[in-house]
Amino acid sequence: MTPTQSPPILAIVNQKGGVGKTTTAINLACYLAEFGHKTLLIDADPQANSTSGIGLDQAQLTHSLYDILMDPHTLEQALCPSPFPRLHVIPGHQNLASIDLDIGRMVSRETRLKDCLTPLHSFYDFILIDCPPAINLITVNAMVAATATIIPVQCEYFALEGLAYLTQTQVLIRENFNPNLDLLGILPTMYDARTSLNRQVIANIESVFPNQVFSAIPRNIKLSEAPSHGLPVQLYAPKSKGAKRYQYFTQEVLHRVQQATA
């Protein structure tokens, strides 16, 4: 029997904190589901912001990604329905903070997440992984499991330096574990067109990564308010600029994924 082909598995990565990874993961997941795609959002961050931002109550959850990485047999218990049709979540948990120590000595420590996800390939059209702000064993597991990365960057002076380090890491992952890992694109976030530095940073990133930069997401208050209501922006403020730009970004993602698999 031939194994089921992997759906697109998109790791949303940047070792820098606060650049919009979780905001991107939540809103991309919800728009993909709204467009009719069965989607799984994996919260790989001990801060578990995707889990709460999507409206799940940590106190009600019995299992998380931590349990799956420790014991793959817990996969079914950790798969949670979300408040939204076609969207499931594997929650994050603060235990993930010690995962480097806990799985560091285990066999195939870098491929544990990839191996866990294989039985899910036929159930989802998209799998998204919201990574923590670090290049640690969890992020390595995410990049080994992924078919492609999306890199959100804040349009500020040090963005390119961070990107250089991240793309070097991606090369190492390709060479050692996952030769097909693609860069789906770089997503400028919290963009303010009035600021010349913001415009300059995007121009610099485009010159180093031609045709790989998504249309920027503007700084928008509704995007920052939505998580405190446990809602994606498409429900919290569907007419806001932030909602419209994440909807457009989701269409760009669908287009790039189709191009990559054509």
Ligand X SMILES: Nc1ncnc2c1ncn2[C@@H]1O[C@H](COP(=O)(O)OP(=O)(O)OP(=O)(O)O)[C@@H](O)[C@H]1O
Of 22, 51, 139, 198, which one interacts with Mg ion (CB under 5 A)? Answer: 22
Minimal distance, residue 1 CB to ligand X, in Å = 39
52 binds, among ligand X, Mg ion, none (CB under 5 to 8 A by kind): none
Calpha distance 197→205 (Å, rounded): 12
> Is 256 an interacting residue with respect to Mg ion (CB under 5 A)?
no
d(CA 178, CA 140): 10
**Interface residues toward ligand X, by CB under 6 A:** 17-23, 45, 47, 49, 133, 189-190, 217, 219-220, 223-224, 227, 242
Work out how close the CB of 45 gets to Mg ion at its nearest, in angstroms, rounded to a whole number. Answer: 5
d(CA 258, CA 262): 6
21, 63, 114, 219: which one binds Mg ion (CB under 5 A): 21
Cβ distance to ligand X smaller for residue 120 or 216: 216
Site size toward Mg ion, by CB under 5 A: 3
What sections of the chain are H helices per DSSP? 21-34, 49-53, 65-70, 75-78, 99-103, 112-117, 137-145, 159-176, 196-208, 221-225, 233-236, 241-261
Taking the complex as a whole, the smallest distance from the CB of residue 121 to ligand X amounts, in Å, to 26
Question: CA nearest 40: which of 101, 103, 124?
Answer: 124
User: Quick check: 93 binds Mg ion (CB under 5 A)?
Assistant: no
For Mg ion, the closer CB: 8 or 92: 92
Q: Strands 148-154 and 9-12: what pairing? A: parallel
Check if the beta carbon of residue 149 is closer than 8 Å to that of residue 11.
Answer: yes
Give me the residues that bind Mg ion (CB under 5 A), please.
21-22, 49
